[in-house]
A and B are shown apart, each in its own frame.
Chain A
Amino acid sequence: MKKNSTIRIALLSSSLALTACGDIFSLKQSNPGQLTADAVYQPANAQLLVNGAIADFECSFARYVVNNGLFMDELHDVIASSSNYDIDRRILFLTSPYAGGCGGVQTPGYYTAFSTARGTADEAYKRLEGWTDAEVANRTRLMAQMAAYSGYSIVFLAEGMCSAAIDLSPELTPAQLFTEAILRFDKAVTAATAANDQITLNFARLGRARAQRGAGNLAAAGTDAALIPANFLVATSADAVNPRRQNMVFVHTVLNFYSSVDSSFRNLTLNGAPDPRVQVVNSGRTGTQTAAGQVWQASKYPLVTTPMPIARYAEAQLILAEARTAAGDLNGAATAINNARNSGRTGMPQFSAAGMTTAQVLDQIIEERRRELFLEGHRLGDIRKYNLALRPAAGTPYTIGGGTYGDLRCFPLPAVERNNNPNIAKG
């Protein structure tokens, strides 16, 4: 009898253990808030990957415009925060917030943000290349988009960074980065042409023009720029609530009073009348650093949902003007400048190159770009390209946060890349 009870207990225990195997013994791990890499890299998710890459780019771009503005002369800091002082006075550490990814609002990330956007676009392109048309609808068009967005990410790294890396490469100069961008735009143009996707085609052409201009090939830049049709525009698709998709200039200057439009962009006129390209208003209040004065805001971004232009016709015309100036066609340059002025506007005063030297026309183009492309992520690239004077000059006392303005003209390669990239010498 006792033996029976022992056997029963043993059987009971064993059956419990076996039954339990099905569920509580399961060691399969999943995170219902995330997707695993295996699940994502499937042909059925092609559009999801493409959306992700574009989302990463738009998020990075919106933050770059603010970084660009604070670092150079479009915006200045009005918040009492040492990391905001740092970027405003052009003194950066290799671990400063610009090194970060696409998070943050007060001190947005830049290097990791665009590196991620570039990486996700390149990865999506590679996956799409490996899949078939039968598996993925519009595969060629998606490939064109990915190559173009990757190219733009590299352009923004080339224009802003002192150096950067791609896929653990050695440290690349801006010239090398522009070359990398052009390679991607070439692929984008080919694919967009094959897919008959005009928007992506022109987006890629204008990107290539920008990269060629950066690389010093103004003739090639002009050729691409001339093909961009009037009214062409690719902009971010903003959202009211999602912080990754908000208009970051609005968020910084209007919503949070973190920064203000710099005085050099206030009250600008054209032939005596207010210049409609650089309309700014005084909010009447200050940020937490009251010594920084009242906050001025850009009228071109009236809402948190206002899209931010990435590439547009006026930019193409100003590249064309630069190319024509370089080729000695000053009147042609003036035409392009006026095309830019008239794009989307009426009654703008017209520019004439009559009696002007090449240098004067080039100065005019730089000024046209400063105003036309105000807070669109171009100013840092122009200051570097033409070695324009820093404003305020290096060494000027930085009254609101102590110290003086620095002389940086580009964002140094951050520590997170330098320390963790085996192909880059440790600093």
Chain B
Amino acid sequence: MRATLSQTVAHWRRYLAVCLAAVPLVTGTVQAQATGSIAGRVIDARTEQPIAGASISIDGTRLGGFAGADGRYRIANVSAGTHSVTARSIGFAPVTQSVTVSDAAATADFALQVQAVALDEVVVSGTAGGERVREMGNSVTRINAVEAAKQSAPPNITALINARAPGLIVNFNTGRIGSASSLNIRGRSSIGQGNSPLIYVDGVRINTSTGVGPSAGGFSAQGAQIGGRLNDINPEDIESIEIIKGPAASTIYGTEASNGVIQIMTKKGGGARPTLTLQVQQGAIWFRDPEGRIPTNYYRTCDTCPLQTWNAVTAEADSGRKLFRNGHTRVVTGSIAGGTQQSRYYVSSSYQDEAGVEPNNSQKMFSLHANLGVTPNEKVDFSSSVHYVKLNGHLGTDLGASTMFGAIGGHILRFPASRGFSAGFPPEVSWELWDNMQDVNRFTASATVNHHPAEWFSHRLLAGIDYTHEDLRGLERFAPPELAVFLSPTGATGRIGQTIRTGSRYSFDYAGTAEARLTSSLQASTSLGLQTFRTDVGTSALGGTGFPGPGVELVSATSTPLTAGQSESVNTTVGGYLQEKFSWRDRLFLTGALRVDNNSAFGEDFKWVTYPKADVSWVAGEESFFEQFRDVLTTFRVRAAYGESGQSPNAFAALRTFSPVQGPGGTNAVTPGSQGNPDLRPERSKEFEVGFEAELFQRLSLDFTYYDKKTVDQIVNQAVAPSTGFPGSVPLNLARVDNSGLELLATLHAFERPNFAWSITGSLATSKDVIKELGIVPGAISTPGGANRVGYPIGGIFTKQVASADRSPTVPFATNVLCADTAGRPPIACAQAPYIFQGTPTPKRTGAITNTVTLFKRLRLYSLIDFQRGNVVWNVNELLRCQGLFGGRFCEANYFPEKYSPIYLAETSGTALNQGIIDLFYQDASYFKLRELSATYSIPERWIRGLSNASVSVVGRELHTWTDYAGIDPDFSGANDQAILPQLSRLSVILNVRF
């Protein structure tokens, strides 16, 4: 029987209580002994700036700390004697010092050198205590979030991640405030089960749903569903991000990890003394070049009438109105971090207030974040992490309910009553009446106990919860008379749809690692883990139409309620792993692991799934025979990994069910629901990757990976013949998709002078996905757009393709139109022509180039240009304008056909869409973007008496695009680029002071 939410929460309360109780249990057993402390400062050897967040650890113990914002740290309770103390930070080579502790405080300062290939960095590997990079046979990309946030003022976490890890693609949605992007790693590999990676925050698996927004009452048609829960995380709270790219690396994360794993670590506090940091950001948000990007439309009211052009942006400006206002961003973040002898803390609070370029688009977010840590002795530490977010957003509108739609598809001669805007209403109808709201309360917490009882054994226990409450409302207000004239009588009375969703995600994770030195050269380590993850989601939807008057905005006030809806789902994963690692002279590492999982969405007749993994890492550069190359090749490691992982089916896919319906006379009745499949099993991804890291001349670092992934047992829905009497489709494990690609990350420290440093980082990733098997015979493609077919990428674009046409004097100025037939045959009539592959929606090549110049150790200039190549986007705006589907033919081609090819003209026919001949409107969406540009100045200490540190930054985002795409913005991942607001530009000034 399914437990209720309250029962489950009660269980978890008990677990947390037990975890908390564990600390005194353990601490009570430790005897007093002579102790001292170690303190010091960690700085960047090049700039002499403090490295905030650097970790300092005492080898062989749980003791350690983090440098505060001033770079200072202090570790207490260190037993007397000589210890190896190591300081680490992302992007720097770790430094180890031998420190002798007596009764007096020992001092150990660290100056860390920048090092792109940092083999001794410890990454979260899923095992207790993590692993050093050198031990892992796969690639892990780490992002120094503190540094990245300082350089780029990201409005949300996806903007922070974007272009910082080769192979990780951020799929940008509309540019509206509150819009969330989905993430893909190494392209797309699942046809039907989603391609988003798992994301953990401080060890807790979190809600990363996208496409969130009002849906009840038909509001999805306004493009309202653009929110996403990943954006609830405040980028300023993040210390670092690790990206584990595929099954070769994510095997021990089990089912659901086949799309990779992202680990987000928040700031931990520490430091020698309390540090108070205050950051204020103030900026402008604007639509760059709207009059140039929103097309100018052509129209005349009769064949002999004068032709007139109309551009919505200039027409409104000429009338004293501004179509897109300047928005703003204001972010205030305050944090205090520090520690005492046995504890450390980091508490921050942030308030973000953003307004978009339209009045019905804004967001306010308040967040509170606290990390506490207690290290009672060398053997144990306890930490907890608590985040709370309150978000209130107005998502605005896109598609047919938007200003963009009216502007792109309008003309003053065609729609004079609505000032030229198409769809029959001017922008103020959308701005003043239509409001898509999201109100979110988010609570994420975890408690972790790390225990290091013996030199050879350490283990960890984590319990966490991520709770989200979303109140999503789509509102069309009762229209005042001056706006009611643009609406139908029913539409003018308004409507509302509300969706209330609560989701809880529970994580429970135990991991232990035991190490043994087998010989003087050979070491073995055995890791064991046990995890369970449970997701409960409950949704209620209600709504109604017809308000009695203005100002009334609740469902209870509507005259006609909509049928209410409710759903609940639970998904549970239980699994464990066993991993064995052998290390030869700390240079050659061999790892083998086995993960076993079960999931509640598996069919009843399918139980446990097993995923194997093996990898090898060889730090060849440290071998003696490599001495001869050391002048050139300072670091060199080769690695190879094979691993499998899975993706669970949808929660109820395995169940054969009946749906409740109303019977005759209002009686209870049932009707066939889902077919279900008791044999359903997870999709299984098998990945092999090989690569190397190298550093040349201590200047150029290279990180190269090639991967090859096969995802089998993909779930496809096979339709059932209706004559069986139980209609629908049955989910079957039939399909296979192959992915391959390479990733290269190169960093060149071009200049390293005391007053001038310049580094350049370039990344390139390729990805290719091919459907190898579908397992079912798909019907013939009958409409243009995305389709899944063997031999083509997932969601490959197919249209009929015009092969030849002649000019004609009559609209659409093309005749004798013939379409391409299958390869090798001459063109045929378009009605009989097949649908031809036009391209993939997934970028084939992505990457970025960043430049960082540091002048006089104080001024840092930074730029990031990123790119995507090789995908196509459907430019629906152009299609609708040219084919007359906005209600008039508005393209230049419609009036000056001599400037265009007959083939293009053939596709401006009013029936071209119905005929499927729209290949020219699927356009290459390759681009380069100047995504980020910033200057940060560290204010000299003499100017800031009383402060320990202060800096001021000017950061620009989304400043320029180089592209051949004819639409408004190629940086759009949806199926149809139709009246979608582009990514908005931003310019912010940030003042950061520390006390």
- With known contacts A24-B534, A49-B670, A165–B3 Cβ distance under 8 A: no
Q: How far is the CB of B650 from chain A (nearest CB, A)?
A: 11
Chain A neighbourhood of B574, CB < 8 A: 25, 27
B18-26, B616-624, B633-641: which lies at the A interface? B18-26
Chain B neighbourhood of A15, CB < 8 A: 18
- With known contacts A1-B31, A51-B664, A421-B721, A31–B530 Cβ distance under 8 A: no
Q: Which of B594-651 contact A (CB under 8 A)?
A: 598-602, 651
Cβ contact within 8 Å between A32 and B664: no
B97 at interface by CB-CB < 8 Å: no
A412 at interface by CB-CB < 8 Å: no
Cβ contact within 8 Å between B379 and A5: yes
Cβ contact within 8 Å between B15 and A16: yes
* Distance A237 CA – B723 CA, assembled complex (angstroms): 26
Main secondary structure of the interface of B (DSSP, over half): mixed
Chain B neighbourhood of A16, CB < 8 A: 15, 18, 461, 510
Cβ contact within 8 Å between B673 and A34: yes
Chain A neighbourhood of B662, CB < 8 A: 55, 239, 242, 244-245
Cβ contact within 8 Å between B721 and A420: yes
Cβ contact of B29, chosen from A5, A22, A236, A416, cutoff 8 A = A5
- With known contacts A6-B453, A29-B601, A37-B656, A244–B661 Cβ distance under 8 A: yes
**Per-residue interface assignment for chain B, residues 552 to 581, with 1 indicating a CB less than 8 Å from any chain A CB and 0 otherwise:** 000000000001001111101010000000
Cβ contact of A93, chosen from B454, B782, B914, cutoff 8 A = B782
Residue from B569, B601, B911 whose CB has the most chain A CB atoms within 10 Å: B569
Cβ contact of B726, chosen from A20, A119, A164, A166, cutoff 8 A = A119
Residue from A12, A167, A237 whose CB has the most chain B CB atoms within 10 Å: A12
Chain B neighbourhood of A30, CB < 8 A: 2, 570, 655
B720 at interface by CB-CB < 8 Å: yes
Cβ contact within 8 Å between B670 and A165: no
Q: How far is the CB of B175 from chain A (nearest CB, A)?
A: 32
Chain A neighbourhood of B22, CB < 8 A: 9, 12
Chain B neighbourhood of A419, CB < 8 A: 719, 777, 779
A48 at interface by CB-CB < 8 Å: yes
B506 at interface by CB-CB < 8 Å: yes
**Per-residue interface assignment for chain A, residues 1 to 18, with 1 indicating a CB less than 8 Å from any chain B CB and 0 otherwise:** 110111011001101110
Chain B neighbourhood of A51, CB < 8 A: 663-664, 667-670
- With known contacts A29-B652, A119-B724, A169-B723, A35–B657 Cβ distance under 8 A: yes
Cβ contact within 8 Å between A55 and B31: no
**Per-residue interface assignment for chain B, residues 370 to 391, with 1 indicating a CB less than 8 Å from any chain A CB and 0 otherwise:** 0000000001100000000000
Cβ contact within 8 Å between A55 and B661: yes
- With known contacts A2-B454, A9-B22, A31–B657 Cβ distance under 8 A: yes
Chain B neighbourhood of A34, CB < 8 A: 652, 655, 657-660, 673-674
Chain A neighbourhood of B453, CB < 8 A: 2, 5-6, 9
In the complex, which residue of chain A has the Cβ closest to the Cβ of B463?
A: A16
- With known contacts A82-B914, A420-B719, A52–B572 Cβ distance under 8 A: no
* Distance A6 CA – B458 CA, assembled complex (angstroms): 10
**Per-residue interface assignment for chain B, residues 446 to 474, with 1 indicating a CB less than 8 Å from any chain A CB and 0 otherwise:** 00010101100101010000000000000
Q: Which of B488-529 contact A (CB under 8 A)?
A: 506, 508, 510
* Distance A31 CA – B404 CA, assembled complex (angstroms): 41
Cβ contact within 8 Å between B598 and A27: yes
Chain B neighbourhood of A1, CB < 8 A: 29-31
Cβ contact within 8 Å between A20 and B25: no
B718 at interface by CB-CB < 8 Å: yes
Chain B neighbourhood of A421, CB < 8 A: 721, 723
* Distance A115 CA – B721 CA, assembled complex (angstroms): 9
* Distance A59 CA – B780 CA, assembled complex (angstroms): 30
- With known contacts A93-B782, A419-B719, A420-B718, A29–B673 Cβ distance under 8 A: no
Cβ contact of A54, chosen from B14, B30, B664, B911, cutoff 8 A = B664
Q: How far is the CB of B918 from chain A (nearest CB, A)?
A: 15
B946 at interface by CB-CB < 8 Å: no
In the complex, which residue of chain A has the Cβ closest to the Cβ of B571?
A: A29
* Distance A275 CA – B234 CA, assembled complex (angstroms): 73
Cβ contact within 8 Å between A23 and B656: no
What is the total number of residues of chain B having a CB less than 8 Å from a CB of chain A?
A: 83
* Distance A9 CA – B451 CA, assembled complex (angstroms): 8
In the complex, which residue of chain A has the Cβ closest to the Cβ of B21?
A: A12
* Distance A16 CA – B726 CA, assembled complex (angstroms): 44
A95 at interface by CB-CB < 8 Å: yes
In the complex, which residue of chain A has the Cβ closest to the Cβ of B657?
A: A34
Cβ contact within 8 Å between A27 and B658: no
* Distance A51 CA – B451 CA, assembled complex (angstroms): 61
Chain A neighbourhood of B673, CB < 8 A: 34-35
Cβ contact within 8 Å between B782 and A95: yes
In the complex, which residue of chain B has the Cβ closest to the Cβ of A165?
A: B723
In the complex, which residue of chain A has the Cβ closest to the Cβ of B720?
A: A420
Chain B neighbourhood of A111, CB < 8 A: 722
Chain B neighbourhood of A377, CB < 8 A: none
B305 at interface by CB-CB < 8 Å: no
A339 at interface by CB-CB < 8 Å: no
Q: How far is the CB of B796 from chain A (nearest CB, A)?
A: 20
Cβ contact within 8 Å between A35 and B506: no
Cβ contact within 8 Å between A116 and B722: yes
B654 at interface by CB-CB < 8 Å: yes
Q: Which of B662-701 contact A (CB under 8 A)?
A: 662-674, 676
In the complex, which residue of chain A has the Cβ closest to the Cβ of B607?
A: A27
* Distance A32 CA – B652 CA, assembled complex (angstroms): 10
- With known contacts A51-B663, A169-B723, A23–B670 Cβ distance under 8 A: no
In the complex, which residue of chain A has the Cβ closest to the Cβ of B8?
A: A23
B11 at interface by CB-CB < 8 Å: yes
- With known contacts A40-B658, A51-B664, A32–B568 Cβ distance under 8 A: yes
* Distance A25 CA – B173 CA, assembled complex (angstroms): 37
Cβ contact within 8 Å between B459 and A9: yes
Cβ contact within 8 Å between A24 and B725: no
In the complex, which residue of chain A has the Cβ closest to the Cβ of B778?
A: A419
Chain A neighbourhood of B534, CB < 8 A: 24
Chain A neighbourhood of B676, CB < 8 A: 37
* Distance A254 CA – B515 CA, assembled complex (angstroms): 78
Cβ contact within 8 Å between B671 and A56: yes
Cβ contact of A415, chosen from B8, B15, B779, cutoff 8 A = B779
* Distance A244 CA – B664 CA, assembled complex (angstroms): 10
Q: Which of B1-44 contact A (CB under 8 A)?
A: 1-3, 7-8, 11-12, 14-15, 18, 22, 25-26, 29-31
Q: How far is the CB of B572 from chain A (nearest CB, A)?
A: 6
**Per-residue interface assignment for chain B, residues 906 to 917, with 1 indicating a CB less than 8 Å from any chain A CB and 0 otherwise:** 000001001000
Q: How far is the CB of A107 from chain B (nearest CB, A)?
A: 15
Residue from B380, B570, B676 whose CB has the most chain A CB atoms within 10 Å: B570
A120 at interface by CB-CB < 8 Å: yes
Chain B neighbourhood of A315, CB < 8 A: none
Cβ contact within 8 Å between B600 and A237: no
B938 at interface by CB-CB < 8 Å: no
In the complex, which residue of chain B has the Cβ closest to the Cβ of A57?
A: B664
Cβ contact of A95, chosen from B510, B661, B779, cutoff 8 A = B779
* Distance A19 CA – B510 CA, assembled complex (angstroms): 14
* Distance A9 CA – B28 CA, assembled complex (angstroms): 12
Q: How far is the CB of B688 from chain A (nearest CB, A)?
A: 31
In the complex, which residue of chain A has the Cβ closest to the Cβ of B599?
A: A27
Cβ contact within 8 Å between B727 and A115: yes
5 A–B pairs (Cβ distance < 8 Å), ordered by A: A25-B532, A31-B568, A54-B669, A101-B727, A415-B779
New A-B contacts (13) at CB < 8 Å, excluding given A19-B15, A24-B532, A35-B670: A5-B29, A5-B453, A8-B26, A31-B655, A31-B657, A33-B660, A48-B668, A51-B664, A51-B669, A119-B723, A168-B724, A169-B723, A421-B723
B residues whose Cβ falls under 8 Å from a Cβ of A:
1-3, 7-8, 11-12, 14-15, 18, 22, 25-26, 29-31, 379-380, 449, 451, 453-454, 457, 459, 461, 506, 508, 510, 530, 532, 534, 563, 566-570, 572, 574, 598-602, 651-652, 654-674, 676, 718-727, 777, 779, 782, 911, 914
Query: Which 7 A-B pairs give the minimum distances between C-beta atoms?
Result: A119-B725, A51-B663, A34-B657, A51-B669, A165-B723, A115-B722, A6-B453
